[in-house]
């Protein structure tokens, strides 16, 4: 089994049925091959699932504060699920759910990629304090967050 993973922050909380539908479509996995649950309920949700069962895609989420509403973690068995690049996944999520998405892949140290609901990409710096994540600076204006400073030279 080979795997891949995706971590992102979303400005919008997504209900489980909507999230399941999006992940099933994105990774082309069968309903029985997908697990989705809040991070604090994983053990409870898996209580009656055979321990040797391996899901094609496994997603957990939990709330955060600040400019984002939730953090999402997805693990994928790339032998049983469609391969989707990190940027493609984050862009699909942002545009599908009309959310601002933050993720990291190959940015310079200290910078993160922000994808706006229309698919526009920016680089940004963050302030993280416990479960509170706020953008501090971005390479272009963030329409939903006029208080975020703009520095095109990031």
**Which pLDDT score, from 0 to 100, does residue 1 have?**
43
The residue behind tokens 């984002």 is 68
The whole-number pLDDT of residue 2 equals 55
Cα distances (angstroms) measured from residue 71 to each of 9, 10, 33, 100, 151: 4, 6, 22, 12, 26
Per-residue confidence in pLDDT tens, the chain, 154 aa: 455 899 999 999 999 999 999 999 999 999 999 999 999 999 999 999 888 888 999 999 999 999 999 999 999 998 999 999 999 999 999 999 999 999 998 888 999 999 999 999 999 999 999 889 999 999 999 998 999 999 999 9
Return the C-alpha torsion angle 23, 25, 26, 30, nearest 10: 70
Question: Which structural domain range is residue 22 located in?
Answer: 3-46+53-150
Which pLDDT score, from 0 to 100, does residue 3 have?
A: 59
Tally of structural domains, the chain: 1
- Could you give the angle at which helices 16-27 and 86-97 cross, rounded to 10 degrees? 140
Q: Across 1-154, where does the E strand assignment appear?
A: 3-10, 34-38, 57-63, 65-66, 70-77, 101-103, 112-115, 121-129, 132-138, 149-150
């Amino acid at each position: 089994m080979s795997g891949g993973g995706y971590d992102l922050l979303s400005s919008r909380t997504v209900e489980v049925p909507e999230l399941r539908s999006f992940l099933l479509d994105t990774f082309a996995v069968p309903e029985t091959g997908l697990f989705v649950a809040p991070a604090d309920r994983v053990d409870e949700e898996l209580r009656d699932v055979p321990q040797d069962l391996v899901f094609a895609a496994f997603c957990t989420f939990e709330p955060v504060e600040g400019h984002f509403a939730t953090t999402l973690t997805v693990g994928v068995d790339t032998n049983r699920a469609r391969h989707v690049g990190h940027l493609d996944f984050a862009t699909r999520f942002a545009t599908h759910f009309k959310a601002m998405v933050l993720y990291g892949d190959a940015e310079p140290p200290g910078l993160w990629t922000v994808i706006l609901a229309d698919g526009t990409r920016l680089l940004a710096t963050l302030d993280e304090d416990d479960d509170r994540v706020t953008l501090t600076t971005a390479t272009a204006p963030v329409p939903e967050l006029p208080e975020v400073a703009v520095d095109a030279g990031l």
